[in-house]
A and B are shown apart, each in its own frame.
Chain A
Amino acid sequence: MTDIRIWEGPSKNHSGSESEQTRRSFLRTGAAAVGGMAALAAALSPLRELSSDDVPNFDEFLQKHYKAMTPEEMEAALERIRKKVEDRYAVRPHLRDVKPMEGVEFVYALNLSRCIGCRKCVHACVAENNQSRSPEIQYIRVIEMPRGSLDVEKGNHHYDHPTVPDPSHFYMPVQCHQCANPPCVKVCPVEATWQEPDGITVIDYDWCIGCRYCEAACPYWARRFNFAKPSLPREQLNPNMSYLSNRPRERGVMEKCHFCLHRTREGRMPACVEICPTGSRKFGNVLDPKSEVSEILKTKRVFVLKEDVGTLPRFFYYFDERYPNTLDPEAVAIAERLKAEEGDAYGCLPGAAGPRKDFVASSTPEWWNGART
């Protein structure tokens, strides 16, 4: 029988040795207590890295959830954030809480035939949304995919060609798809992320506890976590901010694309749409039948990523077809008229013998052929 007794207590049997036993036990217990305290202090030692800037003050600690705040409380919270930004970056931000517009549901469409993989959208987004520069946080991933496949497993976002597009690849940028059935919202244990009436899934950065369940739940790898304190040079701060979008984040919170809601809810384009040099990126109100995205959904061949997981994304990919869309009577009529007038040479209809070209009355230049092989 193993008999380990840390505290043996006063011995009744050996009264002569009572004081000695007590001293030894006292020292042992004291050492255990000191060691335990030291271990506790060591375990808490990361707290030493906190500066007063990181620790929430009393008002911040008691700040309510975004949806529970009264307008006065929201204004107070905004003022606190303004002051914090001013302290950190010496810039007075134009910070407000932009509400969704009535009768608007935002939808994004991206033309895979036109994207050249230049990554301008990635960096325009970083500049617009005050992401951490180092460690680096980017909302958009441009995936380079081999032509003839839509298997994302074959994709590579680390491509580093001297020039793009690479002739043997196409490019598929991925960002938050603002799903109508968002798994990230379902898994959040504290309701720090939710879907707004205009379809944008937002995060209350002050309510997020950093559990990263949403990051695991997202099938599009759209959410980014601030593992470290975000670093952002003062001169690169974008002072045009809103509460739910691009105000500076803290360490330990999740963030993601929010369709630049501080711009789009005021009628402007998202930063990635504005910077795109090819016009691949299209954005608009799907409830407006004349909007560009409505036209795309009506007239183009559209697909969503990972349709089978049932997330109902509001982010659509589409192609320009070299053949006319056989579902579009107007396009078929044009193609048939051209075929009747000018023969089969332009390959306007499926199965035509001619080169698969747009309705361009031109031959194929040599350098084009060279680039394809």
Chain B
Amino acid sequence: MQPRPEPVPPIVAGAVPGSRVDAAWLGWSLPMGFVALAMVLFALSRDGEMTYAPAAMVDRGDLVVKPRRAAMSDPAHILVDGSPQNCNGCHQIFQSNSAAGANLNFHGDIRLLHGLNNRCTNCHDPENRERLTLRDGASVPFAQTPQLCAQCHGTVFRDWERGTHGKTLGSWMTHSDAQRRLNCNECHNPHSPKFEPTRPLPGPNTLRMGAQPASPSHDHGQMHSPLQRWLRELDAAKTMNSTSKGGHQ
């Protein structure tokens, strides 16, 4: 029976590599490390709740499928003080000046922005205000607006007939009864045919993340694009470099 060797006295790390106590310490450190890691992971997993940008607020009314505007009924009528009146009711009494253009005494809601076509009777039948007139003097009902518009907008009309201009609702099947191609005046206001600018619906969620400027500024969109911001910073750095070089020369 040999005497047990004296324990090696405590040492500073690295002083006696491979000694018995050093090895024991390392052996204990492994499970302790695991326990510490486990505690860290447990702690982190509790904080794992992510917050997301709030969902885009979209008015469901904006997503209703319908023609862009209500076309004039056929035969034509307007609402006067909320009650429908046919056109000839007034126009039999009040004959309007055939040269009347953009400055209307009546029909104040009409903004006439149709280029050179700025005379009422270019399109409206002077004899019967509930009908339209073609250039050859033929009188057509309001339902035949495309025929009227086609007199000037020939290529657009051709495209519309083919289906390459304008909007089709109902079905993509050409033989389907459900398919309906909207008339010119179901999208365009005949008095002001160009589309008005509209408010866009909300963009991708990056726009709603983090701090927002108080009011939409000119480059608002660009400010929130990380790529654009990065490129701008790069450009700014380049400009600074070139100016500083210029200063030295």
Q: Which A positions have Cβ atoms within 8 angstroms of B?
A: 1-6, 13-17, 24, 28, 31-36, 38-39, 41-43, 45-46, 48-49, 116-120, 122-124, 126-127, 133-136, 138, 141, 144, 156-165, 228, 231, 264, 267-269, 273-279, 282-285, 288, 290-292, 295-296, 299-300, 320, 324, 330-331, 334, 358-365, 367-368
What residues of chain A lie closer than 8 Å to B199, measured between beta carbons? 118, 162-164
Q: In whole angstroms, how far apart are the Cα atoms of A287 and B113 in the complex? A: 41
What residues of chain A lie closer than 8 Å to B63, measured between beta carbons? 120, 123-124, 127, 275
Take A35-B32, A136-B52 as given contacts and tell me if A116 and B195 are in contact as well, using a CB distance cutoff of 8 Å: yes
- Number of contacting residues on B, CB 8 A? 85
Shortest Cβ gap from B19 to chain A (Å):
8
Q: What are the 5 closest A-B residue pairs judged by CB atoms, nearest first?
A: A362-B115, A35-B34, A279-B167, A42-B41, A292-B163
Of the candidates A24, A33, A133, A331, the one whose C-beta lies within 8 Å of that of B55 is A133
What residues of chain B lie closer than 8 Å to A49, measured between beta carbons? 48
Q: In whole angstroms, how far apart are the Cα atoms of A146 and B170 in the complex? A: 34
Q: Do the beta carbons of A35 and B33 come within 8 Å of each other? A: yes
Take A2-B17, A4-B23 as given contacts and tell me if A118 and B198 are in contact as well, using a CB distance cutoff of 8 Å: yes
Q: In whole angstroms, how far apart are the Cα atoms of A324 and B156 in the complex? A: 11
- Say if the beta carbon of B73 comes within 8 Å of chain A: no
Could you give, for residues 177-212 of chain B, a 1 whenever the CB lies within 8 Å of some chain A CB and a 0 otherwise?
A: 010001000010000001101111111111100000
Show 7 residue pairs from A and B whose CB-CB distance is below 8 angstroms, ordered by the A residue.
A5-B27, A35-B34, A48-B45, A118-B201, A144-B221, A157-B204, A268-B172
What residues of chain B lie closer than 8 Å to A159, measured between beta carbons? 200, 203, 221
Residue of A with least CB distance to B173: A267
**B interface: dominant SS:** loop
Shortest Cβ gap from B135 to chain A (Å):
11
What residues of chain B lie closer than 8 Å to A292, measured between beta carbons? 162-164, 168, 172
Shortest Cβ gap from B174 to chain A (Å):
5
Q: In whole angstroms, how far apart are the Cα atoms of A126 and B205 in the complex? A: 13
Q: Do the beta carbons of B222 and A158 come within 8 Å of each other? A: yes
Q: Do the beta carbons of A299 and B37 come within 8 Å of each other? A: no
Take A31-B31, A46-B45, A156-B228 as given contacts and tell me if A120 and B201 are in contact as well, using a CB distance cutoff of 8 Å: yes
Q: In whole angstroms, how far apart are the Cα atoms of A156 and B193 in the complex? A: 29
Q: Do the beta carbons of B116 and A363 come within 8 Å of each other? A: yes
Q: From B28, B164, B202, name the one whose CB has the most chain A CB atoms within 10 angstroms.
A: B164
Q: Do the beta carbons of B1 and A45 come within 8 Å of each other? A: no
Take A164-B198, A282-B164, A296-B164 as given contacts and tell me if A35 and B31 are in contact as well, using a CB distance cutoff of 8 Å: yes
Residue of B with least CB distance to A278: B195
Shortest Cβ gap from A228 to chain B (Å):
7
Shortest Cβ gap from A321 to chain B (Å):
9
Q: From B24, B155, B163, B165, name the one whose CB has the most chain A CB atoms within 10 angstroms.
A: B155
Q: In whole angstroms, how far apart are the Cα atoms of A91 and B49 in the complex? A: 28
Of the candidates A3, A14, A136, A324, the one whose C-beta lies within 8 Å of that of B204 is A136
Q: Do the beta carbons of B55 and A3 come within 8 Å of each other? A: no
Contacts A34-B31, A162-B199 supplied; 20 other A-B pairs, CB < 8 Å: A14-B5, A15-B1, A28-B28, A31-B32, A34-B35, A42-B37, A45-B42, A116-B198, A119-B202, A136-B204, A158-B206, A163-B198, A273-B172, A279-B168, A282-B164, A288-B174, A299-B159, A359-B156, A361-B117, A363-B116
